[in-house]
Amino acid sequence: GMHIEGYHAGRVDFFPLGLSVAILSSFLCGAFLCGMLIDKNQVHFGGKSFYGIALVGNATLLVVSILVPRHQLSACFAAMACGLQNAMCTSHFGAIVRTTHVTGTITDIGSTTGRMAMIFLRKGFRLSNLNVVERAEVAVDARKVLVLLPMWLSYLLGTVFGAYLETVFDIYALLLPAFVTLSVGLVYMFFRQ
């Protein structure tokens, strides 16, 4: 029969759709938890900031994803950890950085470098021809790319390293990112003023 994006003629299976909705909803719940823990779209060191608690929560969600029965429920807890992490960094960086979306980062790198190239193209590729506003725009975009490129390379290396760890340790490979986020969260909680 005809096969189009998961649909087989004469057979209706809603399980893949239900799983996708559950994973997306879990990601949303993680982001929602961040909204409850972290006030506004700015960093508050000390006082009412709960970044440490959010990081410990992230580590906890990753460990729970290892401990629950495999596959569907495990994927939901891991997705919730991703939503929490992504929303934390969005709050920290003011929606400039997406820490769990490779395509968003590549999009940002492409559009930012394209914007810089267009400014230079209009001015004959001469820095001396740029006015004050254009220089400022190029400087801001260059700093943004200096954040995005290492982050994208971290995605790449993390993917390769994570795939290797998964072949060696199976689901327990998630203990490494859980340990890292737990450590950072605890250090933050104990050393903040």
Q: At what angle do helices 15-37 and 51-67 cross, to 10 degrees?
A: 150
pLDDT tens figures, 96-150? 556 556 667 777 788 888 888 888 888 888 878 889 998 898 899 899 889 889 9
- 28-38 in b/e form (b: 16+ CB < 10 A) is ebbbebbeebb
Distance CA 11, CA 30 (A): 34
The pTM for the full model equals 0.64
Q: In sequence order, what are the beta bridge partners of 4? A: 7
**Residue 13, pLDDT above cutoff 80:** no
In the numeric block, the tokens 């909705």 are attached to 21
Dihedral sign from CA coordinates of 47, 52, 56, 58:
positive
Instruction: Give the confidence band of 8 by pLDDT, cuts at 50, 70, 90.
Output: low
pLDDT tens figures, 67-96? 997 778 999 999 999 888 887 876 555 555
Q: Give the chain's length.
A: 193
Better-scored residue on pLDDT, 6 or 27: 27
